[in-house]
Chains A and B, each alone.
Chain A
Amino acid sequence: MRRWVVVLAGLLVVLHLTLRVGFGIGAAAPDLMLLALLILSREVAIGTAAGVGLVLGLLEDALAVLSFGANAITFALVAAIGAATRDLFLGDSPGFGFSFVFLGKLSRDILHWIFVGPDLREPFVQTVILEGGVAALYIAVVGGVLFAITGIRWDAPGARR
């Protein structure tokens, strides 16, 4: 675990809450909390990642009372899956970061759409494909830029085995 990466993830969470909750700009700000979770999931053990996902999900849920818990389980699952990818993929290519974040965001939207319950669900195509696709592209670009600037890569030899 690299401490500076964990600190960076923490800053992303604070920035996410500042932009979305503090400044109230909503979806105009990228989903930096998910980006932080995906980065952390590659840095900590799978159980820890799931726990972090649960906590961050609860923070998101606190502002959406009707679907409380949906983000918690979604984030926990995404974090666990993100951590599991460490044993499946290397993260040393420039395209990995972009794809990892893009797919992570799509997975988050799909899982959230499932867990939010039938009463609150918006049409799948609109929520996940259209809005979710654009949002995924948005955060993937932001993530790609962040990875390029900070040099975050996951090329641990242990992951090859």
Chain B
Amino acid sequence: MAGYTSPESGSGALGRQIWGALAVLVVAGIILTLSDPVKEEVAAVIRNTALAPFTGLNSVLRDARVRGIEAEDLRQVVDSLTDQLIERRPLDEENRRLRDLLVLSERLGADWVSAEALLPGTQGSESELLLDVGEREGIRVRAPVVTREGLAGVVRERRSNDARAMDWTHPEFGAAVMSEDGLTHGIVQAARGAFREGDYLTLRGTPFNTVLDSGTVILTSGRGGVFPRGIPVGTVERVEASDGRFQRSYELRPFVDPGSITLVLVQKEIPELASALRQDSLTTATEDAEAWPTRFDVSAAWPANERLRADERARLIPLWQDTIRALRDSLAQLRGSGGGMR
């Protein structure tokens, strides 16, 4: 298609166009020589009129970019905080265990020594714990191994610096126990579940004429000279079997999960206890008669409202924190309203 055709040379139209072009160039030259303030004003007028849609679009896009960057920054902050929380969780858990052990240690007194328990995890060493305390720390063979939750196991062998213990899942584990009210006595032993984590305790030898309700707390009875009285062992789940008309067996849900045993307390050798057991009289063997209840009946170390499994205790922590927070908010509100009334 044909474009524009220039007028014939020498025609008036061509001359007018050339003069017009020259006039435009003169105007452009004048604009170029304007003073700076005038130039700025003219430029501002053009920016605010003809270029306004484009500068507006630029502002919108820039704001969107900034918002995008801010959102990305915020996401990174959230990710970082999440990472920190995740990293803190094992630390929190370890802190909780240490605090628990500290509380228990204070309640049990100096007859107990803290130890780190290692689960070997090798074939043939199931149900065994390696303890980093031994004869040097004064622990004895058949000393109870406890956690904040309750009875974890018993020491089998000791050397000068370490010891080997079995947890309650060991086939040879046994303990003389009683119901919380002290009326029903029996023996607990390990029972195999469908898998290792399903192992449980059975309470055997309880009289047929007494019935333990589900949820009844079972404690060590102190009989047999191995475990002091009052260490929580587990709660009754259900009747396992009845042996004719003489005995009942119950399935117990233990307080201590063997897989989570890391920090424990081990009872040290108490000469008075051995002597008392030989003489069959605790009161005569103990020099300080006032002290023996706390040494040989440790039930006070596990108050009734604190007999919880680790997972139950962990679930309660946020509840406690929420309760404390709610109390703090209520106090703040009360203070605020009191201030307003004054």
Q: Give the B-binding residues of A (Cβ under 8 A).
A: 1-2, 5, 17-18, 21-24, 42-51, 53-54, 57-59, 61-63, 65, 68-70, 72-73, 76-77, 80, 83, 86-87, 91, 115, 153-159
| Shortest distance from the beta carbon of A7 to any chain B beta carbon, whole Å | 14
Cβ-neighbour of A2 out of B1, B28, B40 (below 8 A): B1
User: Are B18 and A18 in contact, with the CB atoms below 8 A?
Assistant: no
User: Are A49 and B6 in contact, with the CB atoms below 8 A?
Assistant: no
| Shortest distance from the beta carbon of A31 to any chain B beta carbon, whole Å | 16
* Interface flag for B32 (CB, 8 Å): yes
For window 5-32 of B, CB contacts with A under 8 Å fall at 5-6, 13, 16-21, 23-25, 27-29, 31-32
User: Are B54 and A22 in contact, with the CB atoms below 8 A?
Assistant: yes
User: Are A65 and B4 in contact, with the CB atoms below 8 A?
Assistant: no
Q: Is the interface of B mostly helix, strand, loop or mixed?
A: helix
Q: Can you offer 22 A-B residue contacts whose CB atoms are under 8 A?
A: A2-B1, A18-B54, A21-B51, A24-B62, A44-B4, A46-B17, A47-B19, A47-B24, A50-B21, A50-B24, A62-B42, A62-B44, A68-B31, A68-B32, A68-B43, A69-B33, A69-B34, A70-B32, A73-B25, A153-B1, A155-B2, A156-B2
Q: Is the interface of A mostly helix, strand, loop or mixed?
A: helix
User: Are A57 and B54 in contact, with the CB atoms below 8 A?
Assistant: no
Question: A51–B19 Cα gap in the complex (Å)?
Answer: 12
User: Are A65 and B6 in contact, with the CB atoms below 8 A?
Assistant: no
| Shortest distance from the beta carbon of B4 to any chain A beta carbon, whole Å | 5
User: Are A47 and B34 in contact, with the CB atoms below 8 A?
Assistant: no
Residues from chain A with a CB closer than 8 A to the CB of B21 are: 46-47, 49-50, 76, 80, 83
| Shortest distance from the beta carbon of B53 to any chain A beta carbon, whole Å | 8
Residues from chain A with a CB closer than 8 A to the CB of B3 are: 1-2, 5, 42-43, 86, 91, 154, 156
Residues from chain B with a CB closer than 8 A to the CB of A24 are: 58, 61-62
* Interface flag for B55 (CB, 8 Å): yes
